[in-house]
Amino acid sequence: MTARAAVALLALVLASPGCGRSTRSSPTGPSPDGPWTGTWSGTVADPANGTGTIRLTIDDYRIDATRSFFVGTWTTSFGEVSRNAAGTLAGGTTGGTGVLTLTPVPVPPCATPPPFPGAVGSYTAPALTLDGDTIRGSYQFGTCTSAVPGTIELRR
């Protein structure tokens, strides 16, 4: 799902009657005003790719005082240029914990379907720590044959 599609879907849900919001004659839709909105840069490291740099551009949409969801884009850069990738991101937060999935565009092909959920070349981080201007934690990087553990640390 693209960032634009996710935002359109959220706007439709929030504007629907019975979703806890009043119906207005001209709804404006949500805006990315959450605390994680912005550009984040840092390091990413795992045995499949080595250590590289990563850059995220996040649009964070608040659900309430402690929860939000976000969408955006990402790029990675490694010493071995063939490992570089880019794509879309989706995730969310509850308090100081976040989940994040980075999906490459296009998804690299494999001869057989991978034995794990998620796209080949994707980064799945199920429990990131979000603290002020720092996001850090571990992830699983999807290869054609397995999910490889790694770490990520980002700063605004």
DSSP state string for 34-89: STT-EEEEEEEEETTTEEEEEEEEEEEEESSSSEEEEEEEEEEEESSGGG-EEEEE
For residue 115, the model assigns a pLDDT of 66
3-state secondary structure of 11: helix
Q: Is the bond leading into 106 cis (omega within 30 degrees of zero)?
A: yes
**117 or 144: whose pLDDT is higher?**
144
> Model confidence over 104-129: pLDDT tens digits?
999 888 877 766 667 889 999 999 99
CA distances (Å), origin 105, targets 29, 68, 85, 120: 27, 24, 8, 10
What lies within 8 Å, CB to CB, of 29 at 6+ separation is 7, 10, 11, 14, 15
Classify the phi-psi angles of 20: left when phi > 0, otherwise alpha if psi is within -120 to 50, otherwise beta: left
For residue 50, the model assigns a pLDDT of 96
CA separation for the pair 82, 64 (Å, rounded): 41
125: how many CB neighbours lie within 10 A of its CB? 20
For residue 119, the model assigns a pLDDT of 80
> N- to C-terminal Cα distance for the chain?
25
- pTM for this predicted structure: 0.78
> Model confidence over 12-70: pLDDT tens digits?
333 434 444 444 445 566 788 888 999 999 999 999 999 999 999 999 999 998 999 99
